[in-house]
Amino acid sequence: MTASPEVERQLERIRTGSVDFVGEDELRPRLAKAIEEGRPLRVKLGMDPSAPDLHVGHTVTLEKLKIFQELGHTPIFLVGDFTARIGDPTGKNKARPALDEEQVKANAVTYVEQVARVLDVERAEIRFNGEWMDALSPTDIVKLCSHYTVARMLERDDFSKRYREGLPISVHEFLYPLVQAYDSVALQADVELGGTDQLFNLLVGREIQRDYGQAPQAVLTHPLLVGTDGKEKMSKSVGNTIGITDAPEEIYGKTMSISDKLMADWVGALSFGRWEDLLPQARSGEDPLGLKKELARRMVARFHGDDAVGSAEGHFQQVIQRGETPDEVPEVELALGGEANLGLLDVLRQTFGLASNGEARRLVSGGAVQVDEGRVDDPKLRLAAGEYLLRAGKRRFARVSLK
RNA sequence: GGAGAGGUACCAAAGCGGCCAAAUGGGGCGGACUGUAAAUCCGCUGGUUUUACCUUCGGAGGUUCGAAUCCUCCCCUCUCCA
């Protein structure tokens, strides 16, 4: 078969921004056939609804799914409601706790809503793997297990690592890659997308598909975004995420708080199909502050629209760069409960939702607390009825009225 | 089933009868510095009505004036053997 320009054009876009591309040669004729017969490829991206929010880390592969959509293929967003109940061990040193059904359902709903911000869900398949997994009999599951060996399971990095280090591995964790693989069988996926940490699971999919008499899917992995801490993979449980539903000021501020080095990585990972123009500056390292602001602006615009950019940036300049009080400060009312006044520590704890008065005390003794724009360092201070502007650290503000 | 090792604060890890609210490192939170950062430096990091008291060292009991430390039972993890 001669390579058609259209096939090569599509492959080029598909390849952009990916790390591994397994099965490209097998995909080429399938792609050609797909184009010829007007029968789109089925492209699978699965996510476990293990946390209620998607973050920018998720958007890397989502973006690739969108590219497939733009090329006329069928994006399948697979919500791993069943797999979330198993708990994916990938990249963890511990088994991830399985979630209960209710939690999973609630998360799944918000996932789909959030995916709609990136993908045209009207023209996508949204599926749940509980659909076919719950229908399997124990016999079916045992059969599925028979297609893979323990030795091969232990090839997976986090398994072998834990095994070597004497950390526990539960048997059910071996089920995860197999279930994910079976999803590809059920969906008859031509392509599956994932992060680089998913490579093993994705490849298991190829083998299992073959065993079930299907042509193996092509596999595309993409870089994992390191979280705002600059150390670990972005993940809700580490708390280093930028959520796509975060407020504009949050998205802007969190983006500004990343290190210059991390910024370059982010631009690299997030650029494909979208922000290539930022790449030269990211590589040269020129004017990092300017580039970071541009990145922050684009992040805000991407998830909240252009209109949100101005105020998010203004907020940042005012509060972080100049250390001033923001225009909008949350208002809190506290009851004195008949007393003449209320201790500062109690006021701080209640207005900022601190865990204890001890935490409030630490903030005060650390010099982080301001009342009406003047630093306070007496933890025994008591506030009488009235209005106060409270600040705790750089970013926490509240206008408190004591009654 | 047998033998051995182990479970300490958010994590890792010391402590092995009183000086232990528990060393140290990481993380986190503050502060200083800065180009927003990073790096660096400093402080804090169980709770309270804070020179004291209360709750904490897998769980439940027990010994003792006193237990993270000793004993008993139980639960969990790892290794080797079967």
pLDDT per residue as tens digits for the range A4-48: 889 999 999 999 999 999 999 999 999 999 999 999 999 999 998
Distance CA A100 to C1' B15 in A: 39
Given a contact cutoff of 8 angstroms between Cβ atoms, the answer to whether A215 and A191 are in contact is no
Helix (H) or strand (E) holding A383: strand A382-384
Question: CA A99, CA A239: separation in Å to the nearest integer?
Answer: 19
Query: Which range (A91-95, A98-102, A188-192) has the least confidence?
Result: A91-95
Q: Is the CB of A345 under 7 A from strand B?
A: yes
Give the distance, in angstroms, between residue A382 CA and nucleotide B47 C1'.
21
> pTM to 2 decimals?
0.85
In angstroms, the CA of A359 and the C1' of B50 are apart by: 13
Whether residue A319 has pLDDT greater than 60: yes
Residue with structure tokens 């670990």?
A: A232
Q: How far is the CA of A37 from the C1' of B50 (A)?
A: 79
* Dist CA A309 CA A311 (whole Å): 6
The distance from CA A187 to its chain's CA centroid, rounded to whole angstroms, is 24
Q: What ipTM was estimated for this complex?
A: 0.85
Q: What is the pLDDT of residue A332?
A: 92
Asked if the Cβ of residue A305 lies within 7 A of any atom of strand B, the reply is: no
Indicate the pairing of strand A42-47 with strand A191-195: parallel
Q: In what order do the strands lie in the sheet with A125-128?
A: A21-22, A218-222, A191-195, A42-47, A74-79, A125-128
Write out pLDDT tens, residues A247-286: 999 999 999 999 998 999 999 899 887 888 999 999 888 8
Residue-level pLDDT at A53: 85
pLDDT bracket for residue A347 (50, 70, 90):
very high
CA of A357 and C1' of B48: distance in angstroms?
Answer: 9
CA atoms within 13 A on the CB side of A204: 27
Would you say the C-beta of A401 is within 7 Å of strand B?
A: no
Whether the CB-CB separation of A327 and A320 falls below 8 Å is answered with no
Main-chain dihedrals φ then ψ at residue A120, nearest 5 degrees: -80, 95
Among residues A379, A389, A383, the alpha carbon closest in space to that of A332 is found at A389
> Is strand B less than 7 A from the beta carbon of A378?
no
Neighbours of A280 (CB within 10 A): 9
Q: Which value, in Å, is the radius of gyration of the alpha carbons in chain A?
A: 25
Give mean pLDDT, residues A156-183: 89
- Strand residues in A8-144 grouped as ranges (E): 21-22, 42-47, 74-79, 125-128
What does the block give as tokens for A279?
A: 């790449």
A367 touches strand B (CB under 7 A): yes
Instruction: Tell me if A21 sits within 8 A of A196, measured CB to CB.
Output: no
Whole-angstrom distance, CA of residue A346 vs CA of residue A303: 37
Residue A355's CB: how many other CB atoms inside 10 A? Answer: 8
* Angstrom distance, A354 CA to B43 C1': 19
What are residue A103's phi and psi, to 5 degrees?
Answer: -60, -45
Beta partners for residue A369, in sequence order: A392
Please tell me whether any atom of strand B lies within 7 Å of the Cβ of A169: yes
The pLDDT tens digits for A279-317 are 999 988 889 999 999 999 999 999 999 999 999 999 999
Minimum CA–C1' distance nucleotide for A363: B30
pLDDT at A44: 97
H or E element that contains A343: strand A341-343
Q: Of A385, A337, A380, A338, give the one whose Cα is nearest residue A360.
A: A380
Please give the CATH number for the structural domain made up of A331-402: 3.10.290.10
How deeply is A337 buried, as exposed, middle or buried, from its count of CB atoms within 10 A (0-12, 13-18, 19+)?
Answer: exposed
The confidence score (pLDDT) of residue A136 equals 95
Q: Which residue has the higher pLDDT, A164 or A138?
A: A138
Domain at A5-222: CATH architecture: 3-Layer(aba) Sandwich (3.40)
Q: Amino acid identity of A356?
A: S
Where in chain A are the domains?
5-222, 248-321, 331-402
**Selection from A386, A20, A403, A342 nearest residue A191 by Cα:** A20
